Amino acid sequence: MMTEERLKARLLELESMPSLKPKLSIPQALEQAGFSRRDFLKWAGAMTAFLALPSTFTPLVARAAELADRVPVIWLHMAECTGCSESLLRSDTPTIDSLIFDHISLEYHETVMAASGWQAEENLESAIQKHKGNYFLMVEGGIPMGDTENYLTVGPHGKTGYQHAKEACDNAKAILAIGTCSSFGGIQAARPNPSNAQPLSKVTNKTVINVPGCPPSEKNIVGNILQFLIFKEAPSLDVYNRPKWAYGLRIHDLCERRGHFDAGEFVQKFGDEGAKNGYCLYKVGCKGPYTFNNCSRERFNSHTSWPIQAGHGCIGCSEPHFWDRMQPFEEPIAGKIFPLGQGSDSVADKVGIGILCLTGVAIAAHAALAAIKKDKEA
């Protein structure tokens, strides 16, 4: 654990670095957007807790966020829908997270930059060379490889997505796969995967921090930037290289409907009385017991709601190969063989294959016994 003294020294180091956007600092941008210093410190306190740091670190985390414009970011788009970028950048009521991300030094991002064609290609090449070894690389989307590598070509030179990603990875200080497509291949990699789409980790031998979700929470993106700013190293990762501070608990663990699960109260079909009463959605396909993410805490649409609150079960989008392995989305997994690989449960570093299959059997048994009990009581 980094001491306060070391963290203060790290902040002094950041302060000595030139701002890459001197015309408008992050504090000024937040003030213009109507956020008070109190609002910002409340956000910093929440982020401090998210990163599992002592509350005394809150002012230091706040200062690190203010200095986030010292680090250049290159964001590449591969085979994807741009939903991760859109969810972060297109909010009608921007949050502090999205505003901070708006004002870090985005040296290259195809969605928000004005350049195109030859100029865009030149911007990317210049950014890589200018900030070689110092930039954060964020990649959105799966990457076609092998014989079908040319299914994704980018720019006037006709370079493949794989070539762009590899060159950018080779020169990056830190690499983050943003969203499930970049982390695990996503829907592009679903059977039969005609483009042979692969996760970013297949492109490089460097450590890739996976930030999965369809899309991931904006805090999960900004939090990783803060982690590197503060510690100059990757956070603690699970066996799928997901930050444990964001993906350490299952949806099921913190679900607002968990009490109904424990009480054996389940929605039997969409629209029934159980659905109206907010009962557990496991029997209509919720994959919350198998999915590691913080959606229940973070929520979406300016933190107002999330799929389970809205009445549909989790589909497991932050898990590897979810499109194939979580289907059908409106039916429970129950005793289905669930070979997600070592480390799929909360004891990820110790327990091997099959743990989720056992979990599925246990959950299905609980649901069945609860239904029998209810029938007898009736």
Among 261, 270, 269, 265, which residue's Cα sits nearest to residue 288? 261
Residue 68 confidence (pLDDT): 85
**pLDDT exceeds 70 at position 270:** yes
How confident is the model at residue 356, as a pLDDT? 47
pLDDT > 70 fraction of the chain, expressed in percent and rounded: 85
Are 54 and 122 part of one and the same domain?
Answer: yes
pLDDT for the residue 369: 61
Q: Of 194, 219, 247, which residue sits at a domain end?
A: 247
Check pLDDT > 90 for residue 165: yes
Same domain, 51 and 157: yes
Q: Containing domain of residue 19, as a range?
A: 4-247
- Whole-structure pTM value: 0.85
Is pLDDT at 353 greater than 50 in this prediction? no
- Which of 65-69, 71-75, 115-119, 204-208 comes out lowest in average pLDDT? 115-119
Are 69 and 205 part of one and the same domain? yes
pLDDT for residue 137 is more than 80: yes
> Other C-beta atoms within 10 Å of 114: how many?
7
Q: 346 pLDDT exceeds 70?
A: no
Looking at residue 351, what is its pLDDT?
A: 34
**243 and 111 share one domain:** yes
Q: What is the pLDDT of residue 363?
A: 64
Q: Render 216-245 in DSSP notation, one character per residue.
A: PPHHHHHHHHHHHHHHSSPPPB-TTS-BHH
210 pairs with which residues across the strands?
177
Indicate the range of 21-25, 224-228, 269-273 predicted with least confidence: 21-25
Of the candidates 195, 222, 247, which is a domain's last residue?
247
Write down the pLDDT at residue 88. Answer: 72
**pLDDT beyond 80 at 173:** yes
Mean residue pLDDT of the chain comes to 84
pLDDT above 70 (res 46): yes
Q: Name every residue whose Cβ is closer than 8 Å to that of residue 253 and which is 6 or more positions away in sequence.
A: 346
**Alpha-carbon gap, residue 62 to 42, rounded angstroms:** 9
Same domain, yes or no, for 43 and 159?
Answer: yes
Band (pLDDT 50/70/90 cuts) for residue 334 is low
The pLDDT value recorded for residue 190 is 95
pLDDT one-digit tens code per residue, 52-81: 888 888 988 899 888 888 888 899 999 999
> Do residue 281 and residue 219 come from a single domain?
no
Same domain, 9 and 75: yes
Mean pLDDT of 141-148: 96
Q: What is the CA radius of gyration of the chain?
A: 22
The per-residue pLDDT for 240 is 94
